[in-house]
Amino acid sequence: MTVRRIACTFRPNIRRPLFVVGSPRSGTTFLGACLGRLPELSYHNEPAATMRACPLIHGGAWSPARGKRFYRSVTRWLMRLHLEGDLRFADKCPRHAMMIPFLRQTFADAQFVHLIRDGRDVATSLAEKQWLNLEPATGAAGTSPRKPANPARSFFWVETDRVDEFENTTVIHRCIWGWRRFTETALADLADLPGADHHELRYEDLARQPAREADRLLEFLNIGDSDSRAALHEALREVKTSSIGRWKAALTHEQLEQIHSEAGPLLDRLGYMEDDC
């Protein structure tokens, strides 16, 4: 605790915030936690307030001006709460992959790290979590089954003209659908930003060459401190390679057909279809 840190509690630094984005189950939680070990960053994992605001802003229930005021206020309060007002704010939230233009309007100097992972592995992992299973769950004895989530709020990223299709398709289709929407949208929106403001990396590269990817991240973040470098290198060494290619044993031929029908062009564009065996 320093005098500067105490002073910045009253007026936190929200310049040059960092947002880690990507599809759910793409490895963003692991990457965010690794970046959170950097002493230069005030790291926050999926803040509940901004997560809940995303559908309201994306769907137009809130005006951009209201969303901007809310996000900037929440950012300041998070830094005050953690007594880290003198650090650089960093946030990991997959929903922000759908919010990049808004975030740039809210924080004009924001930077983004976009983590991409093979959509087939993502779909396999998502299906295991059952987050996209809209079937009513069987309740305990004497209770009513749980009702499905409301796609209009929980799944705000679904195209409005495909909501009925989303509700009535298979779980694996919804999973690859989500990967395509989050990945495609982030790629398109980040392409409009200067190169110095966004950094793309693959989970597969992170797993196979963590030291190289750590150095690339540090260069992007303009962090040269030797202790920080050691901290990130140590953190990224914990990455697991066992999850790469799990789809090959987990998915059926019919599921792969659905995946290719929904997201084949994007998988091919990203070079993943070359490993389609």
pLDDT (tens digit, 9 = 90+) per residue, 64-122?
999 999 999 999 999 999 888 899 999 999 999 999 999 999 999 999 999 999 999 99
Output the pTM of the full model.
Answer: 0.91
Q: Is the pLDDT of residue 212 over 50?
A: yes
User: Crossing angle of helices 64-81/3-10, nearest 10°?
Assistant: 150
Considering its fold, how many domains does the chain have in total? 1
In this prediction, residue 130 has a pLDDT band, given cuts at 50, 70 and 90, of confident
Determine the Cα–Cα distance for residues 14 and 73; give it in Å rounded to an integer: 10
- Listed range (90-94, 142-146, 260-264) with the worst mean pLDDT: 142-146
Determine the Cα–Cα distance for residues 216 and 143; give it in Å rounded to an integer: 53
Give the strand pairing for 18-21 and 41-45: unpaired
Determine the Cα–Cα distance for residues 240 and 248; give it in Å rounded to an integer: 17
What is the structure's pLDDT at 159?
95
What is the structure's pLDDT at 142?
44
* CATH number of the domain that residue 203 is part of: 3.40.50.300
CA distances from 153 to 111, 156, 186 (A): 27, 5, 20
Structure tokens at 218: 């540090």
Q: Is the pLDDT of residue 144 over 50?
A: no
What is the structure's pLDDT at 154?
78
Residues 216-226: pLDDT tens digits? Answer: 999 999 999 99
CA distance between the termini of the chain: 54
Determine the Cα–Cα distance for residues 248 and 12; give it in Å rounded to an integer: 47
Q: Compute CA 135 distance to the chain's CA centroid, rounded to the nearest angstrom.
A: 25
Domain span at residue 65 reads: 3-275
Q: Buried (b) or exposed (e) across 146-179, using 16+ Cβ within 10 A?
A: eeeeebeeebbbbeeeeeeebeebebbbbbbbbb
**Percent of the chain at pLDDT exceeding 70:** 91
Q: Is the pLDDT of residue 245 over 70?
A: yes
Give the strand pairing for 41-45 and 198-202: unpaired
- Contacting residues for 12 by C-beta, under 8 A, at least 6 apart: 75, 76, 79, 80, 84, 85, 86, 89
User: When comparing pLDDT for 43 and 141, which is higher?
Assistant: 43
The DSSP-derived string for the chain is: --HHHHHHHHS---SS-EEEE--TTSSHHHHHHHHTTSTTEEEEES-HHHHHHHHHHHTTSS-HHHHHHHHHHHHHHHHHHTT-TTSEEEEE-GGGGG-HHHHHHHSTT-EEEEEE--HHHHHHHHHHHTTT--SPBPPSTTSPPBPPP-HHHHTTTS-GGGHHHHHHS-HHHHHHHHHHHHHHHHHHHHTTS-GGGEEEEEHHHHHH-HHHHHHHHHHHHT---HHHHHHHHHHHTT--STTTTTHHHH--HHHHHHHHHHHHHHHHHTTGGGG--
